[in-house]
Amino acid sequence: MIDPLRAAASIAGSGLTAQSTRVRVVSENLANAQSTGRTPGSDPYRRKTVIFSSEFDRQLGAATVSVKSVGQDESPFAVTHDPSNPAADADGNVKMPNVNMLIEMADLREASRSYEADLRMVKQARAMATMMLDLLRNG
């Protein structure tokens, strides 16, 4: 097991990576909130979700976090009536992506909070290491 303070920095680093992946996926969802299919009756963009998993790192002797996979939200699409859309079927109905702005914004906010917390742990570990080094400097 390596120095716990360095381990803390690495673990928080894994958290930062995982949360930034989450932010990336949320922005993909938001950007594609209006992306319909190309051919009549085809499926539109399907909302993506992030799945986290905890991994035990033997070298660190602690559990880091990683993005296991980016899954897909299988919930049904919203259907709107828009005959002028190229993706409209024979009845003029268009399937819209199952992206809900509110859910995405909440997800984004949660990711940002977790990111902040991780960042704070990095700062704190660094402050502790600096404190210890200061003992050597002018103890």
Partner 1 sequence: MLTLAAEHARWATVRQAVITGNIANANTPGYVALDVEPFSAVLAETSGAKMARTSPAHLTVNGTAADDDQRIWQVKETGAPVELDQQLMAADDVNRGFALDNAIVRAFHRMLMASTRTGP
Residues of this chain that interact with partner 1 (CB under 8 A) are 3-5, 7-9, 11-12, 14-15, 18-19, 22, 51-54, 60, 62-65, 110-111, 113-114, 117-118, 120-121, 124-125, 127-128, 131-132, 134-135, 139
What is the rounded distance in angstroms from the CA atom of residue 28 to the CA atom of residue 24? 6
Confirm if 63 and 57 have CB atoms less than 8 A apart.
yes
| Residue 85 vs 114, nearer CB to partner 1 | 114
| Residue 8 vs 88, nearer CB to partner 1 | 8
Distance of closest approach, residue 129 Cβ to partner 1, in angstroms: 9
Q: What is the SS3 assignment for 48?
A: strand
| Residue 67 vs 88, nearer CB to partner 1 | 67
Distance of closest approach, residue 114 Cβ to partner 1, in angstroms: 6
Residues 6+ apart with CB under 8 A from 80: 93, 94, 96
Task: Using the structure block, give the residue that is written with the tokens 């979700």.
Answer: 49
In our burial notation (b when 16+ CB lie closer than 10 A, e otherwise), range 60-77 reads bebebbebeeeeeeeeeb
Task: Using the structure block, give the residue that is written with the tokens 């002018």.
Answer: 138
| Residue 85 vs 124, nearer CB to partner 1 | 124
Distance of closest approach, residue 15 Cβ to partner 1, in angstroms: 3
Distance of closest approach, residue 107 Cβ to partner 1, in angstroms: 10
Distance of closest approach, residue 99 Cβ to partner 1, in angstroms: 20
| Residue 4 vs 103, nearer CB to partner 1 | 4
What is the rounded distance in angstroms from the CA atom of residue 120 to the CA atom of residue 15? 12
